[in-house]
Structure 1
Amino acid sequence: MNSRRVLITGASKGIGHALAVRLAEAGHRPVGMARTAPADFPGEFHTVDLADRAATATALDDVLSGGAVDAVVNNVALVRPGMLGSVDLDHLVDVYDVNVRVAVQVTQAALPAMTAQGWGRIINVTSMVTVGKSDRTSYGAAKAALEFCSRAWAGELATTGVTVNSVAPGPTETELFRGINPPGSAGEARYLSGVPMGRFGRPSEMAAAIFFLLSEEAGFISGQTLRVDGGGSVAVA
């Protein structure tokens, strides 16, 4: 097995941290980026506010000074809920910036080494809400943009050995999700009602899906969105 160096944004907790643990257990080398370093990250970690474009560029220089990155997982997210009539335009810009600009900036930095070696993986972590969800104009539109990026980049890179895919989690037991939908809240009940399996996903389940798409065995899969949502996207459809 080749040991791959995998850069993960938003890696301090939730899905990103669970993925880092899984990668390390399999002999790979996770590299995390987030505002706060966890005490137990199983690899190299770079503390950076990804909402700051210049700071992100500096952190990426530091990452690449340690060697090439073989794969990128664009996992960092920002959510600003709001029905159409109450969407704050500054929040809209902020959400697009963290969800889309960061993914483009990070991927651009890592891409030259991946294409040079003829192997690479890019995973954009999106969301079940891209199939339709009220109160999520900013977030849903930004994540839908990432799903477009996966399709477009897959076409651009099809002959390079670099694959690009999205993983779209359903409601997952993360700090981000619970911060908006605490136990016993109306939000929790609303989300549960939309998941046919009747439970929330676990970060480890999302990490498993991403881990597969990062693998050698997934080399003929590109431009796809894998929905890991307990049947929620089917229920919406």
Structure 2
Amino acid sequence: MSKPRAYLVTGASNGIGAAIAALLLAQGHTVLNVDLKLPSNPPAGMVCFQADLSDEQQARDVAARLASEYAIVGLVNNAGATRPGTAETATLDSLDFVCNLHLKASLIFIQAALPAMKEAGFGRIVMLASRAALGKPNRVVYSATKAGMIGMARTLAMELGGHGITVNSVAPGPIATELFMSSNPPEAPSTKAIINSTVCKRLGTPEDVARAAGFFLDEANGFVTGQVMYVCGGTTLGVAPV
């Protein structure tokens, strides 16, 4: 008996991950959500699994379980955390944490999903990177691992394209998630400065990012791979390479 096809979105309980999951659910896909905290009332069609993805064994265990029960043909490595710090204040513990969560867990899920993708001759992998990959003060370990996700995606795109598998990155700028707004009150001068730094003069929404991820996840978009889409309100203009 063949396994049911599914799209896996890590960290889909809220914020950007929840918006991506909602888009996929609206298209009729089964969505698997792996997160540290699960939603109290998940939407119909979402199947939730609890795990701390900064823990290698937990990540391996849940990835193996999902791959044994579902044919994962779409994967969004979205789960993440910031861990602010400068050259003087960043700690090796913070570096280990974000490396485990952003890079190690991503590779674990990719390797778990690849057999089903190769068998289907189709796969879509999206890495949720960040505009911070281009450099951002007080984000030394975060920006390093987000840049690493982009590098991983570009290499995997070269390796997997012949199997009908695309690998792309979405790199958000300032997005009005609950986490962002909790540390950036709307009326705070620093928040207004962030808004003014965008060409669009507003914060992005999780749905803005979801639509970008949706483009890369679309089955019809099989000739775009190894690319980075910045969803940043124009904050990368003059910074990102052509």
- TM-score band (shorter)? over 0.9
Maintained 8 Å contact 2:175/2:206? yes
**Aligned twin of 1:228:** 231
Per-residue CA deviation, residues 89-122 of structure 1 (Å, 9 max, x unaligned), is 2111211111111111111111111012110010
Q: CA deviation at 1:187?
A: 4.2
> What residue number does 1:172 align with?
175
> Secondary structure of 1:166's match?
strand
* Match status 1:84 vs 2:87: yes
2:60 counterpart letter in structure 1: A
The total of aligned residue pairs comes to: 235
Aligned to 1:163: 166
Structure 2 length-normalised TM: 0.92
Which of 119, 123, 136 in structure 2 is aligned with 1:116? 119
In structure 2, distance between residues paired with 1:155 and 1:72: 17
Mapped contact 1:153–1:164 kept (Cα < 8 A): yes
Alignment of 1:115-154 (within 5 A): 115-154=118-157
Distance, in Å, in 2 between the alignment partners of 1:110 and 1:137 is 30
User: Secondary structure of the residue that 1:233 maps to in structure 2?
Assistant: coil
How many angstroms apart in 1 are the aligned matches of 2:25 and 2:222? 21
What is the CA–CA distance in structure 2 between the aligned matches of 1:149 and 1:142, rounded to whole Å? 10
Equivalent of residue 189 in structure 1, options 189, 192, 205: 192
Cα-to-partner distance string for 1:192-235 (whole Å, 9 max, x where unaligned)? 23212111101011111111110022110000001111101115
**CA distance in 2 between partners of 1:171 and 1:68 (Å):** 34
Deviation for aligned residue 1:236: 4.2
Q: 2:220 aligns with which of 217, 220, 228?
A: 217
Distance across 2 between alignment mates of 1:172 and 1:54: 31
How far did residue 77 of structure 1 move? 0.6
> Shift in Å at residue 179 of structure 1?
3.7
Q: Matched residues, percent identical?
A: 37
CA pair 179-89 structure 1, distance change in 2 beyond 3 A: farther
Structure 1 CA distance for aligned equivalents of residues 94 and 35 of structure 2: 20
SS in 1 for 2:52: coil
**What is the CA distance between 1:61 and its match in structure 2?**
2.4
Deviates more, 1:127-136 or 1:72-81: 127-136
The aligned residue for residue 44 of structure 1 is 47
Q: Which runs of 5+ in 2 are unaligned?
A: none
8 A Cα contact 1:8 1:32, kept in partner: yes
> What corresponds to 2:11 in structure 1?
10
Instruction: Indicate conservation of the 8 Å contact 1:132/1:236, yes or no.
Output: no
Structure 1: which 5+ residue stretches go unaligned? Answer: none
Partner Cα distance (2:155, 2:14) in 1: 29
RMSD: 1.6
Q: Which residue of the partner structure matches residue 69 of structure 1?
A: 72
Report the CA distance between 1:175 and its aligned residue: 2.4
TM-score when normalising by structure 1 = 0.93
Tell me which amino acid in the other structure corresponds to 2:57.
A
Matched letter for residue 22 of structure 1: L
Distance 1:74 1:66 in 2: 19
Q: Structure 1 pair 4/184, CA: closer, same or farther in 2 (3 Å)?
A: farther
